Amino acid sequence: MKKHPVDGAHARARTFRRNMTEAERRAWPRLRALQMKGYKFRRQVPIGRYIADFVCHEARLIVEIDGGQHDRSPPREAERSEFLENEGYRLLRFWNNEVLANLDGVHETVADELSRATPTQTIPIKGEGFCEVSTHSLKLGSMRRLRTGIRTTNLSATKTFRRSSKSEITAIKLRRYDLRKPTEQVEGGMPTIIDLNAEAAKLTMFRGRTPQTTFAERRGSAVQLGRYRDGILLLSKSAGKSHWETHPEDELLYILDGAMTVDIVEPGGPQSFTVSAGMMVVVPPDAWHRVHSAYGMTVASATLPGEHIDLDVDDPRTSTPDLEIPNTMRPPSIIDLNAELAKLTMFRRTPQSTKADRKGSVAQLASYRDGLLLAIKCSGKDHWERHLPATS
């Protein structure tokens, strides 16, 4: 039987969301990215008297990061695990250092677990409304290895089983990964080359988009181009209105064709910004926003999938009164790329060219995450350079 959150649980959950541990902050964007595969995770979710770190209700899966904000003493942990299991959830746990040292492997393990899940069935019961039944198979004694794209690490996994009150063996899946003696093989990486115009030509315009439209329904009109840092690169063609959404980092939007309006919720109310082909928008982190276009738009974006509200409302605070709107949020950056390029002059570069030499051929367009957006006009040859990997 589903247990409703106890009084005060939602307030505690909001506090936990504002004070996530470093391991939780690292894991959260990767779990949100699984939304593109149809699995939506929520963070710090009240279930009865407990608050679960990350929950995918559709797959009945809870991902916990031990060493976090909750009481993890053995007696309380056993009680917590039993309660959550009786609510129909499976638990997948990682230590803090596992997330920090091998985030790619943790992400792939969660994705693999989701791919093994049997979809939840909703069954009506006379006089009792609805109940949810979820069936999962697990091979006793099996082991799995975490896999990463850049580093391949040999890891061991253990599963803890206990006997339920019905004398059936039930898997709670308490996973512990041994990172003390990893074997790593570092491989070289290749750049991802994307022809935006060619990719856009493959897509068809999706008309009638609504806040409830799913990514699966937009198949053929939207495509994931690749990964960028801890997020993804997307390209889509649509007409209509999106849902309200927010992201923990800047979102970059580049309009290839058509026009659209970006609505952003500020403390004083939603503000609208109209942009057209050749323009870019940097939506600041934690800003609730949506996009809409009456006649159609083709948009490329670099984003971390985040939380969203699937309601057609002019201000999401009317449906979610406790929605957090940062008072210190910086305004969005609106960039007319064609106009900025027209201001620049062509410069023939050499590896020894200095910033002063290139003045007039380079423009700093805006801040983006912890870096910059630049526009450059040049010929010749640049110096060799490399960029430090993201630390968050």
Displacement of CA 74 from its chain's centroid (Å): 32
* pLDDT score recorded for residue 161: 29
Average pLDDT over residues 144-172: 31
Helix (H), strand (E), coil (C) string for 113-148: HHHHCCCCEEEEECCCEEEEECCCCCCCCCCCCCCC
Q: What is the DSSP string of 199-220?
A: HHHT---EEEE-TT--TTTTBT
Higher-confidence residue of 151 and 222: namely 222
Q: Which of 346, 358, 364, 360 lies closest to 383 in space, CA to CA?
A: 358
Percentage with pLDDT > 90 across the chain = 36
> What does pTM read for this prediction?
0.57
* pLDDT score recorded for residue 363: 93
Whether residue 146 contacts residue 183, with contact meaning beta carbons closer than 8 Å, is answered with no
Give the Cβ contact number of residue 253 at 10 Å: 22
Consecutive H or E run containing 51: strand 50-56
What is the rounded CA–CA span in Å between residue 232 and residue 227? 4
Consecutive H or E run containing 226: strand 222-228
Average pLDDT over residues 92-98: 88
* pLDDT score recorded for residue 332: 93
Residue 6 pLDDT greater than 70, yes or no: no
Higher-confidence residue of 13 and 135: namely 13
DSSP state of 70: S
All domains of the chain in start order, with CATH: 9-171 (3.40.960.10), 196-337 (2.60.120.10), 343-380 (no CATH)
What is the rounded CA–CA span in Å between residue 233 and residue 235? 7
* pLDDT score recorded for residue 315: 92
Supply angle C-alpha 326, 328, 331, rounded to 5. 95
Whether residue 348 contacts residue 379, with contact meaning beta carbons closer than 8 Å, is answered with yes
Give the model confidence (pLDDT) of 289-328 as tens digits. Answer: 999 999 999 999 998 877 888 889 999 988 887 787 877 6
What is the rounded CA–CA span in Å between residue 361 and residue 379? 10
φ/ψ of residue 136, rounded to 5: -140, 140
Higher-confidence residue of 387 and 157: namely 387
**Selection from 115-129, 207-221, 251-265 with the highest mean pLDDT:** 251-265
* pLDDT score recorded for residue 390: 53
* pLDDT score recorded for residue 388: 67
